[in-house]
A and B are shown apart, each in its own frame.
Chain A
């Protein structure tokens, strides 16, 4: 017996790569049906023309997440109301891959490069969020530049930062420096203020896009707008 909660829980591990939030929080999951060992998930997006590459990633990731639930043998994912629904759904459910879904329209077999670009942005944004809190508590940026991961008390922001950092394959051991760039290089004390200043722009951009997308989704489907978390 497979429970709704288990599948939803697995789906909450799927993020919109661009907005850096779970598809379940964004209200992108519109339906979930379980029939024996088969799962059907329906997804929806804020606009008809949302970037098809990110849409594809979410559909593919949702399938992998559903299949990760013990007992699930088949997982079919349908993206509704998108100009490329047919290509994306076919590509994922018939396992043709991204380049099979969009022949002639892609210059590479998969989307890993794109995914990495956005993981770097998410990492930078989460770092800024954490450092903003620490600075508000009275630690100057220069002090942060000399801290190690083990110097920090546990918090939700810190956990998220570590998770994004680990996704990029960067060092998350206790003695590693707190502030590194997306390539893992320690940011020196004299550069840390400007580093965090640009990181803020990245965070503003991601948060703003997420906020807009929530609004558009609510207008498109006539549903209440989900509450957003802001720094």
Chain B
């Protein structure tokens, strides 16, 4: 919970990790390249006083995490998005098993999402079903660019992916977090393409598809899909830290998202330990658009809109109990875009 100027905010951090990229756990040069790439993101976009050493960044402790999220970070509930990267890290990067240790210890503070990889076909499907039951999953994180031997990616509407999504429907795993990455097959197509999200969102109206990083670097494609599919959401991981290092760009992103998909389908995330929620939450609550014409067509972001983005939208998806005093001040107001106005000239 965060309070400023008499306004209170319930905070759900919908994208966090407890990763191990220590040298001992790193398998090859790709794992080495991956964590160094993450570290450059961290270093480039964080305020100086929040930059860690590479050594700490590769493997931080439970104490670091509890402190940064819950003691000083204003977070009420954090959602682990398990990411395996088994080709890069010996015991995986940020696995369900590793995250569950913290979940078991602090059951009210964490939600753990599972994951599946359709390339394991029937065997994977059976393991996924056991995972759902064992961990009472409500969501999964899918990394479609994950390497697996010779394969450098998959698509959400691949045959075996659909079989897994059917299982999600069957067991009420209703929140499907999708992370598009840069190495999908085939290489001659745009590897950040989010078109497969569009297709599965239409096929599974009972599931919610949360596109992580709001589709960046293809914000425009994501906005387009978001206007057409009511069950598509945008997670702000990676977009949030621009609020410090690239404030103009942050203002444009949030303005575009509110314009196209509206205030009910945007979710706050720090992507911890890429960035720390404390400064992100504080800067977001203080946020206002710069005062030049570029921002004239964006509506004001009220405290209620900030409340929805910071926690209430995610609380709804995960059926979290929110104390009365942290609910919306104004009930029933809505912004967002009328889908029928969308021009059809760009595609």
Residue of B nearest to A231 (CB): B294
Q: Is the CB of B188 within 8 A of A106?
A: yes
Task: Jot down 29 A-B pairs with beta carbons below 8 A, ordered by A.
Answer: A48-B33, A48-B36, A49-B34, A51-B182, A51-B183, A53-B189, A105-B185, A105-B187, A106-B186, A108-B186, A113-B189, A114-B189, A118-B190, A136-B293, A181-B345, A191-B345, A198-B346, A201-B256, A201-B260, A204-B253, A208-B216, A208-B217, A208-B219, A212-B242, A215-B45, A215-B245, A216-B41, A216-B44, A219-B44
Contact mask for chain B residues 54-71; partner A; CB cutoff 8 A; 1 contact, 0 none = 000000000000000000
Q: Is the CB of A105 within 8 A of B182?
A: no
Question: Residue B43 at the A interface, CB < 8 A?
Answer: yes
Question: Residue B106 at the A interface, CB < 8 A?
Answer: no
Residue of B nearest to A115 (CB): B188
Q: Is the CB of B249 within 8 A of A207?
A: yes
Given A199-B346, A201-B220, A215-B44, 18 more A-B residue pairs with CB atoms under 8 Å apart are: A49-B33, A49-B183, A51-B183, A52-B183, A53-B188, A83-B33, A102-B187, A106-B186, A106-B188, A108-B188, A121-B220, A181-B346, A198-B224, A198-B342, A204-B249, A204-B256, A208-B217, A218-B44
> By the criterion of a CB under 8 Å from any partner CB, how many residues of chain B are at the interface?
48
Q: Is the CB of A182 within 8 A of B346?
A: yes
Q: Which residues of A contact B152 (CB under 8 A)?
A: 105
Interface set of B (CB-CB < 8 Å, partner A): 29-30, 33-34, 36-37, 40-41, 43-45, 150, 152, 181-183, 185-192, 216-220, 223-224, 242, 245-246, 248-249, 252-253, 256, 260, 293-294, 297, 341-343, 345-346
Q: Which residues of B contact A104 (CB under 8 A)?
A: 150
Q: Is the CB of A48 within 8 A of B34?
A: yes
Residue of A nearest to B152 (CB): A105
Q: Is the CB of B223 within 8 A of A201?
A: yes
Range class of the A interface residue count:
35 or more
If the complex has contacts A102-B187, A136-B293, A191-B345, are A208 and B252 also in contact, measured as CB distance less than 8 A? Answer: yes
Q: Which residues of B contact A220 (CB under 8 A)?
A: 40
Q: Is the CB of B341 within 8 A of A208?
A: no
Tell me the residues in window 163-201 of chain A with beta carbons closer than 8 Å to chain B beta carbons. 181-182, 185, 187, 191, 194-195, 197-201
Q: Is the CB of B341 within 8 A of A209?
A: no
Residue of B nearest to A53 (CB): B187
A202–B220 alpha-carbon span in the complex (Å): 5
Question: Residue A78 at the B interface, CB < 8 A?
Answer: no
Kindly provide the distance from the CB of B260 to the nearest chain A CB, expressed in whole angstroms. Answer: 7
A-B contact count (CB 8 A): 129
Q: Which residues of A contact B30 (CB under 8 A)?
A: 83
Question: Residue A144 at the B interface, CB < 8 A?
Answer: no
Closest 4 CB pairs of A and B: A107-B186, A48-B33, A194-B343, A219-B44
Residue of B nearest to A213 (CB): B217
A125–B70 alpha-carbon span in the complex (Å): 42
If the complex has contacts A49-B33, A215-B246, A219-B43, are A111 and B253 also in contact, measured as CB distance less than 8 A? Answer: no
Residue of B nearest to A82 (CB): B33
Kindly provide the distance from the CB of B315 to the nearest chain A CB, expressed in whole angstroms. Answer: 28
Tell me the residues in window 14-71 of chain A with beta carbons closer than 8 Å to chain B beta carbons. 18, 46-53
Q: Is the CB of A114 within 8 A of B190?
A: yes
Kindly provide the distance from the CB of A223 to the nearest chain B CB, expressed in whole angstroms. Answer: 12
Question: Residue A124 at the B interface, CB < 8 A?
Answer: yes
Residue of B nearest to A47 (CB): B37
Question: Residue A117 at the B interface, CB < 8 A?
Answer: yes
Q: Is the CB of B188 within 8 A of A52?
A: no
Residue of B nearest to A19 (CB): B217
A212–B213 alpha-carbon span in the complex (Å): 13
A107–B345 alpha-carbon span in the complex (Å): 27
